[in-house]
Structure 1
Amino acid sequence: MSSYALILDDHPLVARGAAEFLRARFPGLEVVVASRAAEFAPLVAERGAPAIALIDFWLADGASLELVAQVRTMCPGTALAVISGDDDPAVADRVRQAGAHGFIHKQAPPEVFAQAVEALLGGLAWFMPPPAQHGQPARSRDMPVTPAELGLSVRQGEVLALVLQGLPNKRIALQFDLSESTVKEHMSAILQRLGARTRVEAITQLRGRRLVLPAAPAD
């Protein structure tokens, strides 16, 4: 099984362009392109762990943070970098926290991209800030966050999700078949965890983040 580079991006033109660039810059490195997170495990089973994996942060099924964790578990020796066009520094921070070895901005010049790949293949980390936007606000999709990452229980996360939709305590209580006093207790705990005094403060704090609830168990 030969060493290879894996590019995982659901934009075919971007993926093919990056692949052709790597083949030209690193002629001894085979480059494999995939478009879905579900293709990763079968590829590893067939070909072994890649020398380097370059993964788009936003895939068709959402952010790739879970895939980052999967790569680290299945291929601990693989250099792992996440690529994104987001300008929000929080994206690079989340990527680093998830265990990636690097973050490459899609607006980076080709030479910088090559330097990043070379450094990562050499066992180094590569985290570059997004390009300066000359006063323009950062552009990013809502960052996914789970109740556990906020220090909340699953039920508190479910309550918070409805609060973010603007539902009052009475409707939340009806939704979950709870007493209104129980919902108030959940709300008090949520506000305490978030360090907020009111619902408005809690909602404001979560701007730019998308609450992701765990999947319900199958019947």
Structure 2
Amino acid sequence: MSATTTVTEAVAITADNVATLFPDVDISLARSILPSSNDSSVRAGGDLDGYDEEQVRLMEEVCIVLDNDDRPIGSASKKACHLMTNISRGLLHRAFSVFLFDSQNRLLLQQRAAEKITFPDLWTNTCCSHPLGIAGETGAELSAAVEGVKRAAVRKLDQELGIKAEQVPLDKFKFLTRIHYLAPSDGKWGEHESERPFPLCFP
């Protein structure tokens, strides 16, 4: 498999055309709850047949869809956002990475589970995931987006590593920059993200 992927740029993805180009995208970010586990848009098509049930459930989470200027223009399931057929046409979503350092400046790394649908078994930073298209984790302006991503990072650090919210106050997250990247995991799945890295000192 080639390590490079071409993104079709003939049509710029905007708030006006995203739902037409990608029918799985919901153009309302007012969604306050996650879709049910019976969401047919996630389960349909057989793309998730044979995968771990918990990983399939996580594919139902709602990612924030962006235009190329990092503005939220909709939301879509994690499945829709990570299919290479959509990525190759330019579908972009918001993400984050946490780099957790201890008092001796040692970085905590995590090995992704073998059951993961994207990038199984690979070593990565402390925690990388997505803010969701839900209240408290969205934001159009940079400052609001950063705050939303911090809240998402606290949620995922607890979920993945058992680090509780009181151990990682929001003001301890230091926003570095935004990174726009695309990486195929295999022929079916991949990432196309606008990511916010956060270093965090954990005494």
Fold shared by both chains (TM-score > 0.5): no
After TM superposition, the score normalised by the length of structure 2 is 0.25
* Structure with max Cα Rg: 1
After TM superposition, the score normalised by the length of structure 1 is 0.24
Decide which structure has greater strand share: 2
Decide which structure has greater helix share: 1
Which has the higher relative contact order, 1 or 2, with Cα contacts under 8 A spaced 6 or more apart? 2
